[in-house]
Amino acid sequence: MSTETIDPATATNTVHQRITSMVLRHPFFSTCILNLDVKPAPVGTACTDGNVLLYDPEFINSLPIEQVSGLLAHEIMHVVLLHPYRLKEGYHDPELSNIAMDYEINGYLDDYNKDYAAKNRGDVPFPLPECGLIDHQYDNMAWEQIYEKLKNKQPRPDGRGGKGNPGPSGKGPPQPGDFGKVTAPGKAGDPAEGKDADGNPRPTKGEMDWQSIVAKAEAVAKMMGNLPGSFASRLEKMRRPEIPWAEYLTRYFDAHAQDDYDARKPDRRYTGEDIFLPTLYSECMGEIVIAIDTSGSVYGDLFQKFMSEVDDVLARLRPSKTTILQCDTSITDVREYNSGDRIDVGFQMKGGGGTDFRPVFDWVEKSNVNPRVLVFFTDGYGAYPPRPPGYDVLWVDYGNYQNYPFGEVIRTGNQQ
């Protein structure tokens, strides 16, 4: 279809019509989409970054009108599943990442469609494209797990038509089964559009904002009796992702390390065979801080497993310095380790009072420490600083707390 025959207004009217249908029939999806800025852009198919949902008018006009609903629901699910906030640029293959995310999303939507159709005379609310990626062997897997399974699979699954749109630039024609993509926050569309009249960045929604929006959307849909059971069940499991938390912790540290190869340090495994290969080293990770909530809610086995995982990761990446802080309502213990030191996982926890996270962040500031990342092991219930710090924060949550005000969250899946 040539661009001369495309009427953007027709595409916009179609999108608005489909959104109206969502509002009337599907409160979960409508509550979510009303928190996105939906607008046309030459993106090839569609994409979202958690703040905007962009659609290409030419692509919209090429779809059966029912599939436009499927497209919008698909993009909404990218945000419901927090994909923009879990996509590590430079760490994952973007194309394969979107394929893995499609498998995760389409499993949800296929369940929703089947349950809804069974109760509404066969009406399928969100038709997926032909050749769309649906495989229920991946049900209840986070996209990172699916990604790992696909990474070594040959031939790669994009043989089904592929992700024809290589990115928000819209270069390359969309292929069958391509229903758009996800990008990191702030990376969808023209960056200038994300600024106000004074050139300052507009407020953007973060991971915690979307956790709150999704919880509200779920509550509204349940109140109206309009949330299929299997879909609701999978949303509940989503709050306790199946991806092993220790594995994610390892990946998180790996992504923060500036690894490189050094020919001056040959790999000893091969020198005996007169083969000199450069070894991987990580001299630039810098300093990290590990904080442990010792308010009394931490239990021993999980704590020891956490410390064991941290020790293993640090032994490989050798940060220049690691400081471990214990804290309840104040700092109760400070231990410092230099590059190459091993952590004594047998030391006793000190504390047992209430929980206040602020002393940890105050300690970092007063000590003039500029950590590459601060990892906080906690159940999440406590007093937070009024604003996020100027460094990355990772909360390792074992209490299923839903309202962390900043930073990234991984969950151990353990409940008290």
pLDDT digits (tens, 9 = 90+) for 314-358: 777 778 888 999 888 899 889 998 887 877 655 667 766 678 999
pLDDT of the residue at 271: 45
Q: What is the pLDDT of residues 351-400, one digit of tens each?
A: 666 789 999 999 999 999 989 889 998 888 889 999 999 998 989 887 77
**pLDDT-based confidence at residue 267 (cuts at 50, 70, 90):** very low
Whichever domain contains 266, its CATH number is 3.40.50
* 359 is a domain residue: yes
Q: What is the pLDDT of residues 189-238, one digit of tens each?
A: 655 555 545 566 666 888 778 888 998 899 899 888 888 888 888 887 66
pLDDT of the residue at 20: 93
Can you tell me whether residue 367 is helix, strand or coil? Answer: coil
* 362 is a domain residue: yes
As for how many domains the chain has, the answer is: 2
**Dist CA 294 CA 331 (whole Å):** 10
Mark whether 219 and 252 lie in a shared domain.
no
Domain range for residue 71? 3-241
73 token code pair: 């629901």
Average pLDDT, the chain: 77
pLDDT of the residue at 294: 81
Domain boundary among the residues 226, 241, 256 is at 241
Mark whether 73 and 206 lie in a shared domain.
yes
Can you tell me whether residue 102 is helix, strand or coil? Answer: helix
Domain boundary among the residues 204, 221, 241 is at 241
Q: What's the length of the chain?
A: 416
**Dist CA 285 CA 355 (whole Å):** 30
Can you tell me whether residue 162 is helix, strand or coil? Answer: coil
Average confidence (pLDDT) over 129-139: 79
Mark whether 268 and 225 lie in a shared domain.
no
* 307 is a domain residue: yes
CB-based contact 278:262 (threshold 8 Å)? yes
Q: What is the pLDDT of residues 140-192, one digit of tens each?
A: 787 877 887 887 775 555 544 333 333 333 334 444 445 667 787 777 765 55
Please give the residue that has the higher pLDDT: either 255 or 397. 397
